[in-house]
Structure 1
Amino acid sequence: MVFILGIVLFALGICLSVALHEAGHMWAAKAFGMKVRRYFVGFGPTVFSFRRGETEYGLKWIPLGGFCDIAGMTALDEVTPDESKRAMWRFKTWKRTVVMSAGSAMHFILGFVILYLMAVTMGLPNPEAANAPTEPVISATACARSATTLEQLNDTTCPAGAPTPAKTAGIQSGDKIVSVAGKPTPTWTDVLAAVQVAGGPTPFVVERGGQRVNLTVDVPRVQRLLSDKTTVKEVGMIGASPVPKTLVATYGPVDAVGATLDFTGTMFAETGKRLIEFPSRIPAVVDSIFGGERDPNTPVSVVGASRIGGEAAERGLWEIFVLLLASLNFFIGVFNLLPLLPLDGGHIAVVWYERVRDWIRKLRGKAAGGPVDYTKLSAVTMVLVFIGGAVTLLTVTADIVNPVKLFQ
């Protein structure tokens, strides 16, 4: 039930994003005096509509998109005599650019707001901490015991009579292990490497309260299942665990602004990386449709993203749910600005082509040229629409027959 609720909530989040995208176009157009004929959320048959002023607002049955009908978006659009002076193509280049980029701007604003709310509530991920080595600071001490199966490895209870080497030697929570058997241990990985080859009384140096303390730990040898989950090996063990890295940090209302800006920059960088990798990952999507293992880094459709959101909600991982929604907004916003028709970025490219062309004509003593004839671009536009439709069909199919599963 929670899984279904998560899917529904994520889908509603996407619908809100689309509604705000089109609202961004509408608000910017109205602010500059352009005529907005219609603003609808969804496609297909109309559920309801109403008119306020000169604009008709409404909702359609298929909530997978929306549209904002601005009079004269291109010179090919038919306009009535009373609309002619307010046709979008008649306005200055910078105003048309603002209107056409306002949709992506709304995605960026929504993504920022989502991240800000995360920062002051559940916290933001800390990428630097995730990539940094774990410091050799002791969180707690326990027993040293053999564990030759996954069940034993996951069992944290200590059997009766099991030795507690670290605790017995006097190691305390908060101690930082400086060296083991004379070997410096700047990271917890270094501690493990030194301890696993040790056996019997072994000199330790720990830092406690700014002072260095010399201790001797009687390191027992135990049988442990290694990280490959198949090999069992005899290793030294002291029965201690490090302080976990702070992978998530929460902030106050003021500090959260700077933290959100920093993390937004990280997400923009990741979005750019994903866009560059996008074409090269399509073959893997095709392979997954025919039985190949689905790479979690392959592109997903709205169907796949909603499913992942449902899985995160089912496991109570709402921070992943919210972060995925924010990242999706950044991706859509950046993708929509690519200079390809029929995306907004394609229309912006045409507008600036006209501006540069007219500037060059002016330098040559010629009059400004007319608006670009979109009929000459129709072939290219149809090819891009076909490619986009094919990619969408592939990702939706893959998300149905072989979906990405972040949680095994």
Structure 2
Amino acid sequence: MSILLFIIGVLVMVVAVAFSIGLHEVGHLVPAKRFGVRVPQYMIGFGKTVFSFKRGETEYGFKAIPLGGYIAMIGMYPPAKNKGNVGATDAPILRKSSTGMFQQMADEARHAAAEQLQPGDEDRVFYKLPVYKRIIIMLGGPTMNLLIGIVMIGIVTVGFGLPTQTSTVDEVYQCVVPLGQEGDRDSSVNNGCLASDAPGPAYAAGLRPGDTVTSFDGAPVGNTDWVTLTQAIRSHAGESVPLTYERDGVEHSTSITPYKTERPVINEEGQLVTDASGAAKTVEVGFIGMGSEVQNISQPVSAVLPAVWTQVKGVTAVVLDLPARMAAVGKAAFSDTPRDPNGPISVVGVGRIAGEISATNLIGINDKVASLISLIGGLNIALFVFNLIPLLPLDGGHIIGALFESVRRFFAKLFKRPDPGPVDIAKMLPLTYVVAVGMLAMGAVLIYADIVKPVSIFG
């Protein structure tokens, strides 16, 4: 049964990836057609065409390798200017001799693009569009992924709720274990306590698992106010403070004295703060020795965009540090070095995680569905950020090219110089090929790592 559930999870993610890629290309297709560009092909995947059909002037289909997609737009490369004749036009030409391999690459790309032209295409080519329209077309794909990500994260955030620490007590410690000794204690012997340990303030005050704290030092404590409660406890070290809690529907009153102890410094995102050497920073604060019960709490709609922004920042940080991250993945794949669970993964890794989520018995069906939806949302946020990298052949490269053209024309007009014309991105083909090869190599390394040393979310 677990194998079947694993396969179902993988298939769900395969469909989600194809769906995300398809809508990404729709994001390019719709504005391209709206602006009059002829689009002869809309394809999901690469390689040999498996299935296709034609509607109007566009062929729609699927190819053998479903790891991407594209739309073919007429006139992506502007023709070379014939500078050899007086009154030269922008008509495409073929050079009888090339000044080098790179120039020949550009000429061949222009020639291939020119061969796609049909009568009536003169004003339907991509490069003749105003800059803002070209930017809209190229932004359409990433924007579609962003919208999918917002919808998926919104469904989880508002519909299923996010794991949230609550004021309900999950565990209570009978003693205060000094910092750094937690891993050395055997919890099966006297609950891990020694005679020399200070008693746990929460335990001594009568709190037990299942109780819900309702007020601290006279201030009411709501169900999701755990962070506020923790901050109040940390700031009242050594002070006797009144506390109320609810047990089985009955409210009880007590007093509690937070124990002054050394604890790790935690930032606003709940992460450990470290010093330059990587060691955890500590501070003396109040501690009462109890843990919070985590519940899925539905969030307001206003929490969706901040949640999306957090993911965008996280993916951006990975992209900016991609060379180092990929080096770490490669090292882990070919050595005993552990894999960074927060590092980049391939579609194979995403599918494997989806399978693990579906097959595990550690979480309920609602959490499985929410996790899969969240995974799809995170995938689309990653596609959004990655496609905006300002390098060809990615969408961000075309956007930067259009912006550069706009700036170049602005200064030409400002200094009363001739219009320099569209930016010839065909000249960037050598770099484009280098980037494409690099992306293929990166994908191969990630796929290999996801097979031999996969990231596992359940240990």
Fold-level similarity (TM above 0.5):
yes
Match of 2:319 in 1: 275
Q: Is the 8 A contact 2:202 2:290 kept in 1?
A: no
- Which string of whole-angstrom CA distances, capped at 9 and with x for unpartnered residues, describes residues 354-391 of structure 1? 11111111122222113233342122222222222221
Match of 2:399 in 1: 348
Once the two structures are overlaid, the 10-residue window that deviates more, 318-327 or 392-401, is 318-327
Residues in 2 aligned to 1:212 and 1:150: alpha-carbon distance in whole angstroms:
29
Call closer, same or farther: CA 1:144–1:271 in 2, change over 3 Å: closer
Match of 1:250 in 2: 298
Structure 2 counterparts to residues 7-406 of structure 1, below 5 A:
7-75=10-78, 76=110, 77-78=113-114, 79-125=117-163, 139=169, 149=186, 173-175=211-213, 187=230, 206-208=242-244, 213=253, 242-246=291-295, 248-251=296-299, 255-256=300-301, 258-291=302-335, 292-315=337-360, 316=363, 317-318=367-368, 319-406=370-457
Gaps of 5+ in 2: 79-109, 176-184, 192-200, 219-227, 258-287
- Which string of whole-angstrom CA distances, capped at 9 and with x for unpartnered residues, describes residues 320-366 of structure 1? 33222211211111111111011111111111211111111112222
Residues in 1 aligned to 2:334 and 2:19: alpha-carbon distance in whole angstroms:
34
Call closer, same or farther: CA 1:54–1:97 in 2, change over 3 Å: same
Once the two structures are overlaid, the 10-residue window that deviates more, 277-286 or 330-339, is 277-286
Q: Is the 8 A contact 1:170 1:215 kept in 2?
A: no
Aligned-partner residue type, residue 15 of structure 2: L
Distance apart, 1:84 and its partner CA: 1.8
SS in 2 for 1:244: strand
Residues in 2 aligned to 1:188 and 1:28: alpha-carbon distance in whole angstroms:
51
Aligned-partner residue type, residue 110 of structure 1: I
Q: Is the 8 A contact 1:177 1:204 kept in 2?
A: no
TM-score by length of 1: 0.75
Distance apart, 1:32 and its partner CA: 1.5
Distance apart, 1:150 and its partner CA: 6.4
Distance apart, 1:95 and its partner CA: 0.4
Call closer, same or farther: CA 1:60–1:376 in 2, change over 3 Å: closer
Instruction: Give the root-mean-square deviation of aligned CA atoms.
Output: 3.7
Gaps of 5+ in 1: 155-164, 180-184, 196-202, 218-238
- Which string of whole-angstrom CA distances, capped at 9 and with x for unpartnered residues, describes residues 22-45 of structure 1? 111001111212211111112222
Residues in 2 aligned to 1:367 and 1:400: alpha-carbon distance in whole angstroms:
56
Q: Is the 8 A contact 1:140 1:242 kept in 2?
A: yes
Match of 1:160 in 2: none
SS in 1 for 2:70: strand
Call closer, same or farther: CA 1:153–1:341 in 2, change over 3 Å: farther
Distance apart, 1:141 and its partner CA: 8.9
SS in 2 for 1:121: helix
SS in 2 for 1:40: strand
Call closer, same or farther: CA 1:53–1:361 in 2, change over 3 Å: same
- Which string of whole-angstrom CA distances, capped at 9 and with x for unpartnered residues, describes residues 126-146 of structure 1? 6xx6xxxx8xx664899979x
Percent identity among equivalent residues? 34
Call closer, same or farther: CA 1:98–1:153 in 2, change over 3 Å: farther
Distance apart, 1:397 and its partner CA: 1.1
SS in 2 for 1:395: helix
Aligned-partner residue type, residue 146 of structure 2: F
Call closer, same or farther: CA 1:83–1:124 in 2, change over 3 Å: farther
Call closer, same or farther: CA 1:378–1:206 in 2, change over 3 Å: same
Call closer, same or farther: CA 1:407–1:359 in 2, change over 3 Å: same
Distance apart, 1:101 and its partner CA: 0.9
Q: Is the 8 A contact 1:138 1:241 kept in 2?
A: no
Q: Is the 8 A contact 2:163 2:294 kept in 1?
A: no
Call closer, same or farther: CA 1:401–1:356 in 2, change over 3 Å: same
Residues in 1 aligned to 2:231 and 2:421: alpha-carbon distance in whole angstroms:
68
4+ long deviations beyond 3 Å: 137-145, 148-154, 165-179, 185-191, 203-206, 209-217, 239-243
Q: Is the 8 A contact 2:245 2:253 kept in 1?
A: no
Call closer, same or farther: CA 1:85–1:286 in 2, change over 3 Å: same
Aligned-partner residue type, residue 65 of structure 1: G
Q: Is the 8 A contact 2:172 2:207 kept in 1?
A: no
Distance apart, 1:56 and its partner CA: 1.4
Residues in 2 aligned to 1:339 and 1:379: alpha-carbon distance in whole angstroms:
15
